[in-house]
Structure 1
Amino acid sequence: MLEVLARAKINLTLDITGLLPGGYHQLETIMQSIALCDRLVFSPRSQGIELQTNSPLIPAGPENLVYRAAELLQRITGYRQGVHIFLFKNIPVAAGLGGGSADAAATLAALNQLWSLGLSREELLVLAAKLGADVPFCLEGGTVLARGKGELLTPLKPLPPLGVVLVTPFLAVSTAQIYREYDRLLPGVHPDTPAMVAAIERQDITAVAALLGNILEPVTAALYPQVYVVKEALKAAGAPGVVMSGSGPTVFGLCRDEGEARRVAGRLDPGLGRILYTRFCSQAIKLAVING
């Protein structure tokens, strides 16, 4: 059996720079792995893909990215044996933290090993891009500039284990709906991605906190004003930098270390949403063989 930790991500910056063929949005985003993770356990079986989960909020069939990742590997490689997968869900669902993408990336990496497929990193990244925009990053992890649909990855200088406070309001957001609203509203406040890259290169944490930005934030907040309520609460609690992650609704506060993140989290009203604190992580996936 294999146990895999699939880590969440946050977007330090998220910008849309145009449209790609097929109507996809052209992204420019700096993504960062965080220690918050789901746990997946993979066990071989003679045939078929069986997925179970501890969460009633996510499907356990072909509509789940984990299931689709396993199916994709079978289809591409011709591998005919099966797998049982148990997904212990901990990353908030539909929250802008890439939980589904992280689980799909973990499945690609785990089954490549469990099934002895011998696929290279480059081959896995190509398959990851077929599953979703964030899945390639969730294979790579760390601090990364992503472009295109999210599949063009440029590793950046790793940031230290900064603290992060995550507040996920008690609502779910549809990414597709947010992008449709973006196309309608076309908000004009773009994050300064080159300045953020430069700040990361010189490890200027004060500048990193000041340069956080997400072009989708006003779009999501127009539909769900709670996003701005959470943002102001995090600022008042002492977080040096605050921004929404992905298409939301999770808002995160950037802190100097995990201890500061714990203190900031403790000042927040539990009624704001699910409150978690964690830290930056340089690795997206951790695999371990269990029970031999």
Structure 2
Amino acid sequence: MLTLYAPAKINWFLEVTGKRPDGYHELVTVMQAISLYDRLDFKTRSEPGLALTCNIDLGPPEKNLVYRAGELLRARYAPDRGASVHLEKKVPHGAGLGGGSSDAAAAVVGLNKLWGLKLENRVLENLVSEVGSDCAFFVQGGVALCTGRGEIIEHKAPIPRVHLVILYPNIVLPTVDVYRDLSRHLTYQPRNCYFFHDEGARNSAKTLPRVIFNRLEESALRVSPELREVWQKTSAEAGVTCRFVSGSGSSIAFVMEDGPAAQTLARTLEDRGLGRAFAVTTVTVGVSEHQDAGDRSIRGTNQAGQRL
């Protein structure tokens, strides 16, 4: 059996520069992998095709990104092969953390290894980008500048480890709703990304705020009154250097002064009933056979409602 861990992500920077003829939005974003993971277990089987199971109700398996990515790889490179895949979900759904996209990347990375296909990362990235715009990032992860729909990836040198708290307020916020709101407010001047030009800023949790930006944040807060209420309740937390909505929401990311402050805040947020809180760090890789030591999830539940 092969086990892989699929990390969540945050966006240090996210700007929407326009809408494309194909209906997608043109993005400039800085993605960062973090130490919050789903787990996928792979086993070979004699019958061709994929069998997918999960610890939560996925609905029809053929609509899941893991199944779609795996079948795409199989159809093109290993039509006679078969595998069973079990997905253990821990990254919240509809949270702006890229959990489903990371799982899709793990599917192609895992099946590539399980079946001995020896396809290069670039091939896997191109393949999985057909399933979802940001899926390709997670093949290698770390930190990257992503453009186009999010599928054009330029991996960058790792930044010093940052401690964060991710608060999922138990709100599923559909990406399409957030972009629909943004489309009503496309009169802004696009902001330039200076994340990789200001080395002093990205080297310290205290200076990171000057290069962090999310164009979708205001739209997410407008779309969800519940998220807006949580945002207002967390405006003055101890040990926080800045906070931002992750991607299209609904998770809120808090950049912390240090690890102990992150542990304390995660406990406090959960004790106040604001949602599921995870004390995490940035990580330097994507899908991997190992979890980073920074994974310190705080008394949350997984998506099956079980205590962790």
Q: What TM-score results when the alignment is normalised by the length of structure 1?
A: 0.91
What is the alpha-carbon distance in structure 2 between the residues aligned to residue 226 and residue 15 of structure 1?
A: 24
d(CA) in 1 for partners of 2:99, 2:280: 15
Give, in angstroms, the shift of residue 78 of structure 1.
Answer: 4.0
By how many angstroms is 1:59 displaced?
3.0
- Maintained 8 Å contact 1:199/1:208: no
Larger fraction in helix: 1
- Of stretches 197-206 and 5-14 in structure 1, the one that deviates more from structure 2 is 197-206
RMSD: 1.9
Partner of 1:274: 276
Q: Which moved more, 1:201-210 or 1:260-269?
A: 201-210
2: CA distance, partners of 1:256 / 1:193: 24
**Partner SS for 1:84:** strand
Shift of 1:254: 0.7
Structure 1 residue 60: deviation in Å? 5.3
Measure how far apart 1:23 and its partner are: 1.9
- Shift of the 53–207 alpha-carbon distance from structure 1 to 2, 3 Å rule, reads same
**1:287 aligned counterpart, secondary structure:** coil
CA distance in 1, matches of 2:257, 2:119: 39
Mapped partners of 1:233, 1:262: distance in 2: 19
Post-superposition offset of 1:191: 5.1
1:190 positional shift: 5.2
Q: Which residue of 2 aligns with 1:79?
A: 79
Name the structure 2 match of 1:198.
Answer: 197
Letter in 1 for 2:231: K
Query: How far is 1:204 from its partner?
Result: 4.1
Change (3 A) 1:225 1:270: same
Change over 3 Å in CA distance of 1:168–1:5 after alignment to 2: same
- Partner residue of 1:55? 56
Give me the whole-angstrom Cα distance separating, in 2, the residues matched to 1:187 and 1:170.
32
Paired letter, 1:273 = G
After superposition, the Cα gap between the structure-2 partners of 1:187 and 1:104, relative to the gap in structure 1 and judged at 3 Å, is: farther
Deviations 1:77-97 (A, max 9, x none): 143121111111000111100
Aligned pair 1:177/2:181, yes or no?
no
- Identical residues among aligned pairs (%): 35
Residue 111 of structure 1: how far off its partner (Å): 0.4
* Separation in structure 2 between the aligned mates of residue 40 and residue 216 of structure 1, nearest angstrom: 30
1:108 Cα shift? 0.6
Partner-residue secondary structure (3-state), 1:23: coil
Distance in 2, Cα, partners of 1:120 & 1:265: 38
Structure 1 SS opposite 2:250: coil
**What is the rounded CA distance, in whole Å, between the counterparts of 2:233 and 2:183 in structure 1?**
29
C-alpha displacement of 1:122: 1.5
The aligned amino acid for 2:221 is A
Shift of residue 27 of structure 1?
0.5
- Determine the structure 1 residue equivalent to 2:27: 27
**5 Å matches for 1:99-178?**
99-178=99-178
The CA distance in 2 between the partners of 1:276 and 1:109, in whole Å, is: 26
- SS state of the match for residue 285, structure 1? coil
AA of the residue aligned to 1:42? F
Relative to structure 1, the CA distance from residue 185 to residue 119 in structure 2 (aligned partners, 3 Å threshold; closer, same or farther) is: same
Aligned length, in residue pairs = 286
Shift of 1:64: 0.3
- The CA deviation string for residues 220-266 of structure 1, in whole angstroms up to 9 with x for no partner, is 11111333333344441121110001110101101133322112223
Instruction: Measure the CA separation in 2 of the matches of 1:226 and 1:160.
Output: 34
**Equivalences for 1:233-272 in 2 at 5 Å?**
233-238=233-238, 239-268=240-269, 269-272=271-274
Preserved CA contact (<8 Å) 2:101 2:135: yes
Cα offset, 1:62, TM superposition: 0.6
